[in-house]
Amino acid sequence: MRVNQLSTPVEYELKEYHSDVIPFYRNCVNFMVLFFPLLSFLLVPAVQGTTVTTVIAALLFGVLVAFPAGNNKAMYIRDTTIFFMIFMSFSIISQFLNLIYDLKLSDELVLVNRGSFLQYFFRPSHITQSLYIIISFIIFLFVKYYADRSVVKYIYWALRLLCFYAIYEFVYFKITGGPGDFMTNRKFGDRDASLFQTTSAAGIRLMRMKGYTGEPSMFAFTILPFWALTYGLKRRFDNILLLVCLILTFSTTAYFSIILFNVAWFIYKKRYRQIFYVLLGALIILAVMQLDAFRDTFNSIYNSVFDSKISGDSVSSRDRGGNITTHFEYWMGLGWLHQLFGIGFGYVRSTDFLTTILVNNGLVGFIVFSCFVGKHFFVKIPDKDLAFCYAAGLAILYFIMLATVPEFAYPSLWIYLGVVYVFNKQLPSIEEK
């Protein structure tokens, strides 16, 4: 016979305490994501990686380990343990291979730390870059296990603040002709973490938007997936704001992503009439471009944004193409075990993530990472429109990362991966605007 047992006062107080800590973690996660785009500002300028978001995540992780954190704590610790086991396995295997095969580094590689060129066993960058990926995974798990739908509001307020700051820089440059960045205190060697870039359109110098993410490509990488989500979340103001700022990055990657997403969205919604209007608009633009009054203007815009990038004439295109070739050839020249497991996480940083991870973690590392990202395509989201937008945004994020942005530790990536579990929880709707 089953006997129901009454909770003792101590057990009751413990359960009540456990339920009370959940709002604390939820509020901390909301506060943490409010600063996720702020990457060129460090709380401790002498220590790389001490952004507001990473410091909050590290402190919160310490609190979680030391004190009760609700029922999700066990799953959080489980996932963290699995991650450490996989990561340490790659580290041990790669360093063991470096020893037995006497690894030789090419001077053409883009090494994270060139100061210790001859060192191939547990290079300093292997340790420092490992800390970045660990804190990134910690951020991901906090969003996965402790965020609710209220986090969406904070994510988009973070992006609004980023865009407002980028607009301020844009206007400041138009008025003064110089950079107006006052947030950046982060440096990579002797170079500021914030890259000031301009472009020319019809003889008018315009600043490429970057905000405090560091550079236009990082700005686009941060915003694009969340811009795609605005369609499913029906956030019209954020949709327009993010789109305008993406256009003002003058980023080829951003433009192609915007076009591809809109075509996919129209097809998904069966809005074939809109596709016709888009094509008609494109034809009208092409016709206007042939008029003498507008030809020079459109030619200058096309050349600065598309032609030089596609043809490979721009400096960034030449550098990216050369680095991809260099790192891929180096990987192909390694022994088959090194090809499988790499030479060590954080050793090289090419201008693309594909050859970066192939050299650092090998083919197995690339497959493991791709499977980890890919499984988020299959997390069920009840709202079909939101599910489509999330999947499209994730595809954009993954392919941009592989081709042009090797930033594995950007909080935007890990927050985006984690937020799908928030949509999966089917929590009651709340005001998100």
Average pLDDT score over residue span 26-39: 94
* Helix ranges, 333-410 (H): 336-341, 353-374, 384-403
Asked if the model's pLDDT at residue 38 lies above 80, the reply is yes
Question: Tell me, what's the pLDDT at 406?
Answer: 79
Asked if the model's pLDDT at residue 420 lies above 60, the reply is yes
Average pLDDT score over residue span 222-231: 95
Contact 138, 57 (CB under 8 A): yes
Q: Exposed, middle or buried by CB within 10 Å (0-12, 13-18, 19+), for 367? A: middle
Question: Tell me, what's the pLDDT at 74?
Answer: 92
Would strands 191-192 and 198-201 be described as parallel, antiparallel, or unpaired? unpaired
Asked if the model's pLDDT at residue 29 lies above 60, the reply is yes
Contact 253, 400 (CB under 8 A): yes
Place of tokens 């970045």: 132
Phi, psi of 109 (to 5 degrees): -70, 145
Contact 349, 109 (CB under 8 A): no
Question: Tell me, what's the pLDDT at 11?
Answer: 39
Contact 355, 327 (CB under 8 A): yes
Contact 278, 266 (CB under 8 A): yes
More confident: 91 or 320: 91
Place of tokens 């996919």: 264
Q: Exposed, middle or buried by CB within 10 Å (0-12, 13-18, 19+), for 305? A: buried
The DSSP symbol for 103 reads -
Asked if the model's pLDDT at residue 186 lies above 90, the reply is no
State the DSSP H helix or E strand holding residue 205, giving kind and residue range, or none if neither.
strand 204-207
Helix (H, G, I), strand (E, B) or coil at 184: coil
Contact 91, 130 (CB under 8 A): yes
Q: pLDDT (tens digit, 9 = 90+) per residue, 279-310?
A: 676 667 656 555 554 555 555 555 555 555 54
Q: Exposed, middle or buried by CB within 10 Å (0-12, 13-18, 19+), for 270? A: exposed
d(CA 38, CA 162): 8
Q: 0.75 cut: is pTM over it?
A: yes
359: which 2 tokens? 């050299």
Question: Tell me, what's the pLDDT at 52?
Answer: 94
Average pLDDT score over residue span 366-377: 95
Highest mean pLDDT among 255-264, 400-409, 419-428: 255-264
What count of Cα atoms within 13 Å lies in the side-chain half-sphere of residue 6? 2
Q: How many CB atoms lie within 10 A of CB 200?
A: 13
Cα of first residue to Cα of last residue in the chain, in angstroms, is: 53
Question: Tell me, what's the pLDDT at 19?
Answer: 57
Q: pLDDT (tens digit, 9 = 90+) per residue, 144-171?
A: 999 999 999 999 999 999 999 999 999 9
d(CA 412, CA 296): 38
- Strands of 85-145, DSSP E: none
Contacts with 431 (C-beta within 8 Å, 6 or more apart), sequence order: 153
Contact 386, 430 (CB under 8 A): no
Helix (H, G, I), strand (E, B) or coil at 301: helix
Asked if the model's pLDDT at residue 15 lies above 60, the reply is no
Task: Report the range of poorest mean pLDDT among 25-29, 173-177, 383-387.
Answer: 173-177
Of 246, 110, 98, the C-alpha closest to 167 is: 246
Q: pLDDT (tens digit, 9 = 90+) per residue, 79-132?
A: 999 999 999 999 999 989 888 887 788 778 877 776 665 566 677 888 888 899
Average pLDDT score over residue span 231-253: 92
